[in-house]
Amino acid sequence: MNKISNFYDKFYTIQKRTTKIEEMKQDIRVNVIRKFLRKDNRTHKKILIVGCGSEKDLSITRERIIAIDISSIAIKIAKKRFPHNTYFVADACYLPFANNFFDCIVCSEVMEHVVDSNKMLFEFQRVLCERGTVIITVPNWYSFYGMFRKLAEFITRHSVTAGNQPIDNWYTPGNLKIQLNRHFRIEEIRGIWYYPPMGRGKYMAPSFLVHPIFKALQPIDWFLGRILPKNGHMYAVRCTKIMTE
């Protein structure tokens, strides 16, 4: 855990400004999560955001939330930007909360980075109340990005990870479903981001040229997320807790 938390402390300390394309992608992701949240009609929901980072995920709702991250630096930044929330530095596999405490858990672009995702899902089930909701997004192998990553790994003969993260285990819709079905019932799925990769580092296409094109095509991307949910760069799932005897 120390190695991973140290990596993310450094990551948030030297965090670089994102491109317009990356901002657009994250905005679409957050909007999908918001739409999923609206399906839960309960008022005054207790919401937990797992792996909250320092900004985007904390803007999904105006309600007061509880948020955790493994990075103390991310939590420090988040407290300044969203001071009305409650924060904890914590490991997603060992949640510091009582049983049946939350109505909803949001875990977006985090599951692929944890040491033991099955342990994390068990913890989600433990702290969720009856008929509680889990919203998860993960990067998808069955996408343009997945194909390009596989090609890059074949050419370079080593693992290619996002931001050189220590753990970056992408999912297919099938293997995510297998894991989730042990604890939850899948209610809804969506795909996010159908554009091709624009390169990496010095080989990245100029954002000022590509962004207007991507923005014009955004309605098509949203439509594809509904009809081809299993082929987006990110795969979003809304689940409910399975009650055990």
DSSP 141: S
What is the end-to-end Cα distance of the chain in Å, rounded?
33
Q: What is the pLDDT of residues 43-70, one digit of tens each?
A: 778 999 999 998 899 999 988 899 999 9
Domains detected in the chain? 2-241 (3.40.50.150)
* Helix (H) or strand (E) segment spanning residue 101: none
Which pLDDT belongs to residue 135?
98
- pTM for the model stands at 0.95
Q: What is the pLDDT of residues 136-163, one digit of tens each?
A: 999 999 999 999 999 999 999 988 888 8
Question: Residue 245 pLDDT > 60, yes or no?
Answer: no
Please write down the HEC assignment for all residues of 144-167: HHHHHHHHHHHHHCCCCCHHHCCC
Decide the pairing of beta strands 128-139 and 102-108.
parallel
Question: Residue 15 pLDDT > 80, yes or no?
Answer: no
Sequential DSSP letters for 30-80: HHHHHHHHHT---SS--EEEES--SSGGGGS-SS--EEEES-HHHHHHHHH
pLDDT above 90 coverage of the chain, percent: 79
Which of the given ranges, 41-45, 87-91, 164-168, has the highest pLDDT on average? Answer: 87-91
Separation of alpha carbons 223 and 4, rounded Å: 37
DSSP 11: H
* Helix (H) or strand (E) segment spanning residue 135: strand 128-139
DSSP 14: S
Give bridge partners of residue 48 from the DSSP assignment. Answer: 66, 105
CA distances in angstroms from 25 to 1, 214, 221, listed in the order given: 29, 10, 11
CA distances in angstroms from 113 to 58, 141, 198, 215, listed in the order given: 19, 15, 23, 29
Decide the pairing of beta strands 47-50 and 102-108.
parallel
Separation of alpha carbons 148 and 7, rounded Å: 25
